[in-house]
Amino acid sequence: MADITRPKYTRFGVLPLLLAPFPFLLIPDVFLVSILFGLTIAGFIIYSIIFASVLAPPPHLWNAQNIGLLPVSSLIGMIIGLPIGALFADMLSQRQTKLANGENNPRSRLPLIILGFLISPTGLVISGYCLRPEHFSWIGFAVGLAMLGSGLTSSSNIVTTYCVDSFRTKAGHIGVVINVVKNSIGFGVSYAAIPWYTKQGPVSQFGTMVGLLWASYLRVIPLYFYYKQVTMFSERLIAKLGI
């Protein structure tokens, strides 16, 4: 009797399976969410690398315990931002669905992203200025890290839920793409963080990240005001690509 529980792969069956999610990067919604999520994670990676490299050597001479406790501020920020990206966003979506006589509209969550637009980049600006040797402030740095954490759990949850809600049958592939892209961005930034900091300084480094984040956030605006057009274009593209 044949073993029907074991998957049968053809010679080229595994590779297409691995590559299947990546055409979704051509979908505007998925691409934007992946980049926005990746840049926020990249900000965290820069934080973790920079503060360990700056605080451990002279003149600060922080020990490993103190350096390790500093990221607690990010946890506090994430806890603060979590209800915004989850509970409040769901409440806003449910209210909009009720007003629309039961018709769900994924874009109803997007207005709350304005909080992440204001909080995360502002936290990066504060951190950049607080890392200057002449005006060093670990408290300001910790506050900036908390603000970035708050923006991560609020904005990233909102845009990811929006994307999955728009293409529910493709949620698995979309989740894979988002995770691969954000981790790839973080991996690349980890190599450039120290040379970038040494060459340009904290204000320029964190300021560049702010610009990239704001550029990504601003691209959410067309997703809200032109939701139907963007969705129709994405659905046609999905059908054309056969994904």
pLDDT above 80 (res 195): yes
Do 230 and 107 contact (CB within 8 A), yes or no?
no
The pLDDT of 112-124, averaged and rounded, is: 90
Q: Which residue has the higher pLDDT, 20 or 10?
A: 20
Which residue, 115, 107, 85, is CA-closest to 217?
115
| pLDDT single digits (tens) 30-70 | 998 889 888 888 888 888 888 888 888 887 788 888 888 88
pLDDT above 70 (res 2): no
Give just the sign of the alpha carbon dihedral 223, 227, 231, 233.
negative
User: Could you give the CA distance from residue 220 to residue 159 in angstroms, rounded to a whole number?
Assistant: 9
pLDDT (0 to 100) of residue 1? 46
**Half-sphere exposure in the Cβ direction for 23 (13 Å, CA):** 14
pLDDT above 70 (res 5): no
Q: To the nearest 10°, the Cα dihedral for 166, 111, 35, 242?
A: 10
pLDDT above 60 (res 8): no
Q: What share of the chain is helix, strand, coil (3-state, %, to 5)?
A: 85, 0, 15
Please state, in angstroms and as integers, the Cα–Cα distance from residue 115 to each residue in 31, 109, 195, following that order. 21, 12, 32
User: Could you give the CA distance from residue 168 to residue 96 in angstroms, rounded to a whole number?
Assistant: 19
Q: To the nearest 10°, the Cα dihedral for 90, 96, 98, 101?
A: -140
Q: How much is the CA Rg of the chain, to the nearest whole Å?
A: 21
Do 93 and 104 contact (CB within 8 A), yes or no?
yes
- The mean of the pLDDT values for the chain is 85
Give me the DSSP letters along 44-69.
HHHHHHHHHHHHSSTTT---HHHHHH
| Helices within 13-137 (DSSP H only) | 14-19, 28-55, 64-69, 72-83, 89-99, 113-130
pLDDT (0 to 100) of residue 12? 55
> Which residue is it, tokens 């200057």?
132
Q: Which residue has the higher pLDDT, 5 or 149?
A: 149
Task: Break the chain into its structural domains and give their ranges.
Answer: 27-220
CATH superfamily of 27-220: MFS general substrate transporter like domains (1.20.1250.20)
pLDDT above 80 (res 74): yes
pTM for this prediction: 0.83
